[in-house]
Structure 1
Amino acid sequence: MNSSVPCLQLNEAKTYLSRRLFSQGQMTSYMCQEFTAARVSVYTFLPYSPAGSQLVRVASWIPQRGLLFTKLQLFPEKFLNFQGATIPVSVLPFPPFWVEEDQQAADGTTVRSYSGTDGEMFLSLARALNFTFRVLPANNWIEVMRFVEVRISLVSPVFYFVMAENFERHDMTWAYEYIFPVFSMRKPGLSPRWQSLYYPLTGLVWAAVLTLLLCVPAVLIMGATIPVSVLPFPPFWVEEDQQAADGTTVRSYSGTDGEMFLSLARALNFTFRVLPANNWIEVSH
């Protein structure tokens, strides 16, 4: 971006353009005309520096001496050190990726701590790049994404599904986590060939499998109600209370895992009852 301005208006132009270039990382040059002399100055905007956000000169040109550089680089790295700044972020609790917990400090104040896979990663990033963050209050995920879109929030540090329509509103990092439902078991070692019929599972495991094969079909045929433990985890497991015709409240289940489990219940002729749980630790227990 180039601009030719009188020398007396140079400070006003710098102030105006520094506001426009905030968070964009652009470079601009000014041509100052004074009498018959001409001088071109090249400025870059540093959003995070020891002196705060500022517009600094990185080079200048005059006819008598040509191009002159300052001690700063022409294209400096602007986001390797945030200089202890506090950046705004937008996110909602989304376990197990982003978990928020209020704890009581020694002086009696309430301190909010962050954990989860994305929470731990973002805390590590904050320590490495020397910044702190402030979570903006939001009522839903639409507000969270809108804050990033209008640049009220610098980033939303939580796992998102990469969809094409999201790129029209904001940028996204590379997908770093893939979750697949799989079965896991101990890696088998070398054993006699005749043991390959039941190895690597132990006799107790085979006895449990045989018991399940005999008992579970009989229970399911009778249309039993089985207890399950789960918490709302959209878009995989979604719970919604609806009003029935007789005035009672009926809870419905949807989402990818919810629909799959409902199909399984219909196929095997059983119903289920969701046990109350406060967190995912109780669900696992």
Structure 2
Amino acid sequence: MATNQDLGTVGSRLSPTVVALVRPLLEEATSAVIVHDGSLIAQRVTHDLISPPSTSLVLGNMRNLLEDPHALATFRGHQLNAVHGLAIFLFSNVSVVSRFLAAKPPEWLRTSLLLLSLSLHSDARELLAEAQEVRWSALLQARLTTSNNSFRHFVINFLPYNPPGSQLHLQVCDGRPLTRGQVFLERYHHFHGRELQVASWLDDFPFLFYDTDGQVQGMAKVMLDEVASRLHFTYHLQEEPPDGYWGELVNGTWMGMAGQVVRHEKDLIIDGFAILLDRYHSLDLSVPYFTDSYSAALKMPPPAPRWVAVVYPFQGVVWASVAATLLLLGLTLRAFIHAHPHTSSTHST
């Protein structure tokens, strides 16, 4: 039975099959982070997976990070802020991963997350719900078949807005290398009539505002209505954030509508929201659909009187210089004439 097999033997047999499935995903990624739970089998698979290294890598040990709060806080993998990056959590102990996700919520991940379970008996599906805030996430899990004593691998996706009983989507791997499109499914294509709670401020023209009939209008509402009709959800707007803030980070705490989303009190924000660096790291922002700019305006001076038009083209300093030059030139000529009177008479004759 599998429960009596030596862990090293299982690792030596399981590692080649896992590497064959996952390594193409790693080679395709522009950057990657691999974090394991410190178990022997996880370290063995990690070693085989990155030998030789094929992309920019960040490695981590969950147990060590959990024991060092400073290392845990600074372990962010900044280079993962790319659409085509990849994060892999390798583990045989589900509780260690659960503790890691609780201690370091996955908002720091800006890329796809593959939960790679190396346990043949533990059920790791609950981790998908704990990591659902990652935009793209999936679980790769192996089982040992008793008929031919070989491994079968399953890719599981969590669809949070599906009705209960249909939230897990399972695919059986056929042995061929995995592709990104096969592993990371679109999880939000249908909300099945769910009502979303929207963080909003209904005094934000032209995005959200009341018309003369007291109805909410605005370009943000028009877009939200279109998205809701396509993705099959309803929504509820709030009048304004309770604390009166828009979305500022104050002493490390998010306030306003941004704070409501970060604390999971609301599902999304639809007001005009400037893209700032701290917001980029804490929120999943849409592509910009509206640009704004600022400029300084001054009152135009009244037109100058017509008599000033003659002297207006030049400043007073210029005119004073011209007058001084003419005066100096006149005095110079007069002095020259007085100094040479005969020369002047000769020319006159």
- The structure that has the greater radius of gyration is 2
More helix by share: 2
TM-score tier, shorter chain, comes to 0.3 to 0.5
TM-score (norm 1): 0.48
TM-score (norm 2): 0.40
